[in-house]
Amino acid sequence: MKSIIRFIPLILFVLLGALLYRGLFLNPQAMPSAMIGKPLPKFELPRVKSEEQLVGRDDLQGNIVLLNVWATWCIQCKYEHPYLLNIAKDERIKLYGLNFTDDRNAALSWLKQYQDPYVFSIFDEQGALGLDIGVFGAPETFVIDHTGIIRKRFAGPINDTVWKREFLPLIETIEAEMAQ
Amino acid sequence: MIPELGHFALIIGLAFALCLSIVPLIGVAQNNQQLINSAKPLSLGLFIFLTISICLLAYSFTVDDFSVKYIANHSNSLLPYYFKISAVWGGHEGSMLFWVFALTAWTFAVGAFSKQIEKEFVARVLAIMGMIAVGFILFTLLTSNPFERLLPNFPAEGRDLNPLLQDIGLIIHPPMLYMGYVGFSVAFAFAIAALMAGKMDAAWARWSRPWTVAAWSFLSVGIALGSWWAYYELGWGGWWFWDPVENVSFMPWLAGTALIHALAVTEQRNTFKHWTLLLAIFTFSLNLLGAFLVRSGVITSVHSFAVDPGRGMYLLVLLAIAVGGSLTLYAIRSAKVSSPSRFTLYSRESAILIAMSILITATVTILLGTLYPLIIDAMGLGKISVGAPYFNLVFIPLMILLFLFMGIGPLIRWKKARKGELSKHLNKISVFSVLFGIAWPFLFAGEFSVWAFVGMTLGCWIVLAVLKDVLNNAKQADGRWKFSAVPLNHIGMAVAHAGIAVTVIGVTMVSTYEQEINVKMSPGENVNLSGYTIEFAGTKDVLGPNYSAIQGQVNVLLDGEFVTLLKPEQRTYKVQSMGMTEAGIHTNLLRDIYVALGDPLGNNSWSMRLYYKPFIVWIWLGGFLMAIGGFLAILSKRYRKRVLASEQKRNQSNPMVL
């Protein structure tokens, strides 16, 4: 009897180990971002290319809107830029930019030098809109559907693999919803 | 080239660790002195190569070698040099390297400062620490190599260290914490070596005591620094959040506290051996479990490291080998441990036993609270989180009980207290403590408060009990006082207990009397905060090395007299485009004034959070006092004195050795 008692710590540990093993296959990070399923917050900000003309939520027209957060200080943005030019040709979506805590002249020369894939870019110098939608860093891309609801947030640069895996299925889903 | 050398040094370190975990044990089995003697040089080699490795990583940080993936992800050329160096342990990979480095430093220290211990025993201890080193160096090399390159296309600029970590607190907090975590591996190795040898007398408790107390002291400082950092850096004014990562550092501390008390009893009374063995294993297991929980992504936390299931699997296997192996060893070998318990109910043994039981219960309840979301998720019942209400509900009553016994423990006799003796010691101080607890809320706030009464009474009680104990020891037979007669380890205990009391007082005062105001302020406006006038003078733009900031100018006045100018900031770190709140804080022993800048509300007005936090600095001062107490105890002559005696004895009986 006494020898069994000495095995109790071991038995407890085995049970704990089984729980931890199970835990490895769960994903606590799968908690959706707070903004997903909610409409884009209201804002009034200038465009990169025009200081005077303020744009707001309703100016992001299109059935499926991609809002790409970028900045000239962001190296990954440079990496994803050529692919954005590619995406912009896709008829199904409209690509808008959110120029995030950046310098206007730098942003303008960037768009000149590398071409401008965006319908227009919002100029968010203070990062106010970025904070509202929970931007951690650039690049990030948000998908907003035909009803104005944020459907997805992707952090990191977009390339062909990412586009096909993360974005195309969602675009098809939204199109199917629109058809109904 | 340099990073490859660092990588290579780590691999050589692995080779040393492998030899260290095998060769001395063969020596012990074959009674081969030469092989037994190899343990110390091997531990020296292990330490040297890990030092080289971590220094080369730090060097690569200072020269901005962004071809190294870890550096590209955690540094930037604009980062000040001291943050480049602290970035070495700012992420998962580098902190693992630091962890292993700290482990080898402890291993080397055990080898260097153990001349008085039997060679066979040291050989076993070092071999076990070598095994732990093998496990963690392999983990670092295979799953988390900080020297991995981004070749040939490496970035011209790094992604910068997380702005939250760009702070003095984060330069010293992780090293202290890791020194503590790793230090408990010494106690673990001593326990396993004792189980292997089947020899568990008071000697091994005496040998492992200073090491365990040192680890505990480091951990105390580490936790206090972490709490302090969260307070001034996160901008919420809170100092403890029951976040899983905090819990993971707190559980080994609680278990370690129980362990140092069990060790004390084992050394002085030759009993509680099973407690000591199990607690040594338990404390070390909690460290491993903590590493697993934080680094596998099983639990979400504000401190999350980069997550990779491969790492989790490796750590789980490591946990299974280390903990499963040692508990199996315990189950098989512990029958040999005779632990005679010859004490009555009214004795110091009983008081310590109760205190240990409370500490272990507290550890287990925190463990349950931390793992509960995982249990629910694993059973498919959804996702929940366990917050502060649960922890406060279970933890505070346990601590009140614990503090009561903390007052009794130092004043009661070992084995059997004489009738009436305890009440003679305690009557006056208990009456005084209760009166103090009743009077304090009236003096401080003019009205009674139950929590202030409970907290202040207990704080006072703990301090008076250890004070009384020191006085009892200083009082000579002829009635004169002689404080030099009080053994240093006794003073250490008293200081550490007083540290607990200081923390208790800080926690009580802050939780009872803190004030928080959320207010919109325009330049020139002022508000009243617990008697202080807080005047907002406007903002100005400032530029740091790698951030730009809006800095509020806030004057603090008391009775019309200028106290200080606080400069809370809203920073924007360019590279990670992360907004950061930098609170403006004025600290003295009696209170903190804490101002955090919120959002701009137009017309130069800002939302602001103002806090008045009485006695908050006591919380961390207590932590440092505990550590000072620990280190004082280590310096005690008792460890060296007996050491010399035993050495002489050994040299006499065995003149050939040496």
- The 3-class secondary structure across B550-583, one letter per residue, is EEEEEEEEECCEEEEEECCEEEEECCCCEEEEEC
pLDDT at B384: 61
Within-domain flag for A128:
yes
pLDDT on residue A27: 52
One-letter amino acid of B302? V
Q: Where in chain B is the domain with CATH 2.60.98?
A: 515-617
- Cβ pair B349, B343 in contact under 8 A: yes
- B157: closest CA among B59, B62, B71? B71
- What residue type is B425 in one-letter code? H
The CA distance from B383 to the nearest CA of chain A, in Å, is: 8
At B578 the pLDDT is: 63
Q: Is B234 helix (H, G, I), strand (E, B) or coil?
A: coil
Q: Do the Cβ atoms of A28 and B292 come within 8 Å?
A: no
Distance of CA B39 to the CA centre of its chain: 29
Is residue A2 included in any domain, yes or no? no
Which two tokens mark A70? 């970028």
Tokens of A116: 């401008």
The domain that holds A139 is classified in CATH as: 3.40.30.10
The residue written with tokens 């080779």 in the block is B15
Name the stretches of chain B with pLDDT < 70: 297-309, 381-387, 576-579, 640-658
C-alpha Rg value of chain A to the nearest Å: 22
Q: DSSP label at B320?
A: I
> For A6, which of B307, B330, B371 is closest by C-beta distance?
B330
DSSP class of residue A137 equals S
**What is the gyration radius of the CA atoms in chain B, in angstroms?**
27
In a domain? residue A63: yes
pTM of the model: 0.80
In whole angstroms, what is the distance from residue B53 CA to residue B57 CA? Answer: 6
Best residue of A8, A25, A26, A159 to probe chain B, by most B CBs closer than 10 Å: A26
The pair of structure tokens assigned to B96 is 């693992």
Q: Which pair of structure tokens corresponds to residue B489?
A: 């380890």
- Among A12, A20, A31, which would you mutate to test the B interface (most chain B Cβ atoms within 10 Å of its Cβ)? A20
Q: Which among B322, B327, B296, B293 is positioned nearest to B309, based on CA atoms?
A: B296
User: Which ranges in B379-420 belong to alpha helices (H)?
Assistant: 388-408
Nearest CA in chain B to A124: B577
Q: Which residue has the tokens 């089995």?
A: B29
- Please state, as a whole number, how many other Cβ atoms lie within 10 Å of the Cβ of residue A18: 11
- B104 versus A45: the higher-pLDDT residue is B104
Beta-carbon count within 10 A of B574 CB: 18
User: How far apart are alpha carbons B105 and B228 in whole angstroms?
Assistant: 27
- Residue B488 token pair: 């240093």
How would you class B481 by CB atoms within 10 Å of its CB: exposed for 0-12, middle for 13-18, buried for 19 or more?
Answer: exposed
Q: Tokens 């955090």 — which residue?
A: B596
Of A3, A9, A16, the CB nearest to B278: A9
The whole-angstrom separation of Cα A157 and Cα A83 is: 9
CA-CA-CA-CA torsion for B601, B602, B606, B607, nearest 10 degrees? -10
What does the block give as tokens for B163?
């702005």
Residues B469 and B613: beta-carbon distance below 8 Å: no
Cβ–Cβ contact A10 with B under 8 A: yes
Hey, what are B200's tokens? 């568990």
The tokens for B184 are 């408990």
ipTM, two decimals, is 0.73
What are the strands, taking DSSP E only, across chain A? Answer: 44-47, 50-56, 64-70, 93-100, 121-124, 140-144, 150-155
Q: Is A71 on the interface with B (CB under 8 A)?
A: yes
**Which residues of chain A neighbour B281 with C-beta distances below 8 Å?**
9
Q: How distant, in Å, are the alpha carbons of A123, A139, B576, B597 from that of A45?
A: 6, 19, 22, 23
Judge whether B585 and B594 are in contact, CB under 8 Å: yes
- A53 φ/ψ angles, rounded to the nearest 5 degrees: -75, 110
If phi over 0 gives left and psi between -120 and 50 gives alpha, with beta otherwise, what is residue B64? left
Q: Are B441 and B448 in contact (CB under 8 A)?
A: yes
Over the stretch A141-167, which tens digit does the pLDDT of each residue have? 889 988 888 888 887 778 887 788 888
Neighbours of B406 (CB within 10 A): 22
- Give the range of the structural domain holding residue A44, as residue numbers without chain letter: 32-179
First-to-final CA distance of chain A: 70
Contacts of B312 in chain A (CB under 8 A): 24
At position B342, the amino acid (one-letter code) is R
Q: How far apart are CA B97 and CA B84, in angstroms?
A: 16
Q: What pLDDT does B410 receive?
A: 87
Assigned domain for A12 exists: no
User: What is the model's pLDDT at position A65?
Assistant: 92
Report the distance separating Cα B17 and Cα B45, nearest Å: 9
Average pLDDT over residues A70-87: 82
Residue with more model confidence, B28 or A20: B28
State residue B388's pLDDT score: 75
Put simply, the answer to whether B328 touches A10 (Cβ < 8 Å) is yes
Q: Looking at domain B515-617, which CATH architecture does it have?
A: Sandwich (2.60)
Span A118-147, pLDDT tens digits: 999 999 887 778 777 767 667 788 899 888
Q: Considering all CA atoms of chain A, what is the largest pairwise distance in Å, rounded to the nearest integer?
A: 85
> Residue A97: which of A130, A75, A126 has the closest Cα?
A130
A30 pLDDT above the threshold of 50: no
Q: How many domains does chain A have?
A: 1
Measured between CB atoms, does A19 come within 8 Å of chain B?
yes
Q: What is the pLDDT of residue B653?
A: 39
Flag if B577 and A21 touch (Cβ within 8 Å).
Answer: no
